[in-house]
Every structure is written in structure tokens, then in C-alpha cells.
Structure 1
């Protein structure tokens, strides 16, 4: 199976509310991402702060925040392709 590696590149992300945003990938696929409070431990604990969460940006095809916090675009892509959303539990 030949996969498009650049398809995983996130080209846009818009926050819809705290801990939720919509992403669009290079191939046009888009969907919602929800981060549940149970996922906010370790490096992700900083995302509890709405002001910090609102610093979301796109960096080299990744959804990212300061302090080297980012989300795996390939896992995000697959979940959105299969379910229309990615829920981090």
C-alpha cells in the first residue's frame, strides 16, 4: 500500500473551544480533535491553562504549542479518516 506521507501535514488548525480544534491536512481531509481532561498529564498538563492552549500553532506540519508540545499528525490523520474526529483520552 502506497501512503501519501505529505498528506499527514497539517496546514490549518482552528480552535473551536478549550481543548478542541478542527484541523485540515494537506490532502484536504479535515476533522475535529478533542483532548479529554484525562489526557492532560505529563507534558500535556500545560494545556489545562486556556491561555496556553490558545497558543496552538502549526509548525512543520504538526499541531504544536510552546515548550516542544506537539501531536502526532499521522495518528491524528488516521483517526479522523476513520472516525471524523480524534479523541485523546
Structure 2
């Protein structure tokens, strides 16, 4: 993963259903408080998403695009 300079959009719309710590992400004002913490995307309430998870989402999106799967 290192050195691969990936750039893309990640869909966070399903994260609020992943547990109570992610529930506040559906509030735009809170979502905008995201920051980078040790390579993870994090929020002040302790919610975080590991870079590996983001990478997997982007990789899946790219594979779907190459196969002609609509997103």
C-alpha cells in the first residue's frame, strides 16, 4: 500500500450503522471535524477508520470500475 498515491472518494454513508461511535457521522457538522491521526481518519469522539479500510474501499471501487460494475 505504501507509495501507491491513491486518490479517490470513499462513501462513509454506511458508517453510522457500524456502531454507536459512528452514529454522529451522519451529522454534517460533526463529520466535518474529521482529522488525520496516525494515518487514520478520526473524529473527536474517538471514531476512526484505518487507512487499510479506506484502501480496500478504493481498491474495490477501482476493480468494479474496471469490470464495468455500476457504483
8 Å CA contact 2:22–2:47 kept in 1: the answer is yes
Structure with the largest fraction of strand: 1
Structure with the largest fraction of helix: 2
**RCO higher in 1 or 2 (8 Å CA, sep ≥ 6)?**
1
Gaps in structure 1 of 5+ consecutive residues? 8-25, 85-89
Would you say how many aligned residue pairs link Structure 1 and Structure 2? Answer: 60
TM-score, normalised to structure 1, is: 0.56
Gaps in structure 2 of 5+ consecutive residues? 63-71
Give runs of ≥4 in structure 1 deviating > 3 Å.
Answer: none
SS at match of 1:31: coil
CA RMSD for the aligned pairs?
1.8
